Chain A
Amino acid sequence: MNIQLIGLIGFAIFLLGLFGATYYRSFLSIMISFQLLIVYSVINFFSFSLFIYVLSSWDKTFVFFAFIAIYTLLFMIVFYNYSKQTNIYGLEVLQDLRLFKFDRSDWWGEDNADTIK
């Protein structure tokens, strides 16, 4: 096992997650992108621990607590979305939740975007 190759594959996973988080508009796709980013971080922690450190507990402790913290937040967001469904499939699946949008109303003028597109 080569740490550099593992790092490169991991980074490819990171880039895929980053692309997904910046491009996709659907809730599920963005959540999937987040999982890819988290997987990369976990690969980093564990591979560095295996190759560089002897019996390190820091990485596992970090992953243990970070998972609880991040997934508590993500769980709540998903649960909130689940509890506030409109029962209109188009609205649920085709909603635009792009994280980083460049809309004119965010820079200038009024926010008249109160219509469902």
Chain B
Amino acid sequence: MDGKQILGFLNYFILGLIFVSGLVSLTVIDQKRKLTFLFLMLLSAGLASFLFFAGTAFIIPAAVLLLFCLILFLLVNSQQYYSLGRDMDSDDFLKKQGAKPEPDIISNLAVSILFCMLVGYVFFRYSQGFYENIRLVENFNTLQMAALIEDISSNYAPLILVIICCLVASSLWFISILDSRRKKN
């Protein structure tokens, strides 16, 4: 097998893994398992970006993603720990609850599926023409981190300032929110 074919296969495999882990993540009921498959999906997406598309330029977005995953992990674990206690499993809880199916579950499902099918059909039909007329490059090249940082610092410095302002305000917000938790504890 040619190196390019192997790379292509790996690419499709990782993209497929993103889809499958996303699907499993949505369908399982247990919160922790949802998170596990979400992390797997994001890991696959990160891998695909690093290996095939963006190289080292994906480091900072990956760091941002990691922080987000951390807070999601904290949320799910604290929900389970403070609500159920260390030993109780959420599956047991849901079984004890005897979770009744919602009365409108079928109509909601049908509407969502039909809507997605409509969007899929419209998009598929109208984007076909694009792929037929596309002109591809001869060689794949990805921008290096240093060039990206130079571009950002020379052209987008005001946006960095704006982000810093927002983060400073956000830190005040976090302090206010955390204050109430401290009082509670």
Contacts and interface: CB of A to CB of B under 8 A. Distances in A.
B67 A46 contact: no
A52 B133 CA distance: 12
B174 A79 contact: yes
Interface string A16-55: 1111101110001101110110010011001101111111
Residue among B79, B135, B140 having the largest count of chain A Cβ atoms under 10 Å: B79
Contact of B15 (A31, A43, A60): A43
B134 A52 contact: yes
B131 A3 contact: yes
Chain A binding surface SS class: helix
A12 to B, nearest CB: 6
Contacts of B116: 15, 18-19, 22
Given A46-B54, A52-B135, A88-B83, A82 B74 contact: yes
A52 B137 contact: yes
A6 interface: yes
B92 to A, nearest CB: 11
B66 to A, nearest CB: 10
A54 B64 CA distance: 26
B157 interface: no
A97 interface: no
Interface string B147-184: 11001100110010001001100100110011011000
Interface residues of B, number: 86
A51 B112 contact: no
Contact of B26 (A32, A60, A82, A93): A32
Given A39-B18, A64-B60, A32 B112 contact: no
Contacts of B64: 67-68, 71
Given A39-B45, A43-B48, A57-B143, A13 B19 contact: yes
Contact of A89 (B71, B79, B170): B79
Interface in B12-29: 12, 15-16, 18-19, 22-23, 25-26
B82 interface: yes
Given A5-B12, A15-B116, A39-B18, A61 B152 contact: yes
Contact of B71 (A39, A46, A67, A75): A75
A1 interface: yes
A16 B37 CA distance: 14
A85 B82 CA distance: 9
B36 to A, nearest CB: 11
Contacts of A29: 26, 34
B18 A13 contact: yes
Contacts of B11: 1, 6
B148 A39 contact: no
A116 B57 CA distance: 46
